[in-house]
Amino acid sequence: TVGAVAVDSGGNVACATSTGGLSNKLIGRVGDTACIGSGGYADNHFGATSTTGHGESIMKVVLARLILYHMEQGMPPEVAADTALDYMKTRVGGLGGVIVVNKAGEWAARFSTKQMSWAAVEDDNLHYGIYAGE
């Protein structure tokens, strides 16, 4: 799965997510990616997020919208992402990763899996990583 979130100079946010799904999946299986609020969500009032990971778990907790809900409650992107990922892990045993940007341009790339490749550019500065802590 791949995804992107952005905020433009007008303060508008957007998200995009695309995937080939799960290896050897049943024909017709649709995961979280195409489901609004699960594979991604964007609302100028709060921010935008794109998700990746165990699709069935992501759908059960509606992960992308859950993160924005936490941001609506005042959490910064990193805390909102970790809180939602932790809920998914404890509630349904699912692992995954998310990228988040809020309407102020604060961002996070967080994951409960061992790895997630990610990159970000803000103010002409490039950041990237694969392992936790990078």
Partner 1 sequence: MKPVIVVHGGAGRIFKEQEEGCRAGVVRAALRGYSVLKQGGSAVDSVEEAVRSMEDDPHFNAGCGSVLNEKGEVEMDAIIMDGKNLDSGAVSAVKCIANPIKLARLVMEKTKHVLLTDHGAHLFAQATGVPEVPREKLITERSRERWKKNLEPDSNPEEFQKDLG
Known catalytic residues?
A: 1
Out of 86, 91, 119, 132, the only residue in the binding site for partner 1 (CB under 8 A) is: 119
Q: How far is the CB of 78 from partner 1 (least distance, A)?
A: 12
Q: How far is the CB of 102 from partner 1 (least distance, A)?
A: 10
Closest to 65 (Cα-Cα) out of 37, 94, 101, 43: 37
> Residue 72, SS3?
helix
Out of 73, 86, 91, 122, the only residue in the binding site for partner 1 (CB under 8 A) is: 122
Spell out the residues 6+ positions from residue 15 whose beta carbon is closer than 8 angstroms to its own.
Answer: 3, 4, 5, 40, 41, 42, 48, 49, 50, 64
Spell out the residues 6+ positions from residue 33 whose beta carbon is closer than 8 angstroms to its own.
Answer: 1, 17, 18, 19, 21, 39, 40, 55
Site string for partner 1, 70-89 (x = CB under 8 A): --------------------
- 91 sits near partner 1 (criterion: CB under 8 A): no
- 132 sits near partner 1 (criterion: CB under 8 A): no
> Residue 77, SS3?
helix
- 130 sits near partner 1 (criterion: CB under 8 A): yes
Q: How far is the CB of 119 from partner 1 (least distance, A)?
A: 4
- 31 sits near partner 1 (criterion: CB under 8 A): yes
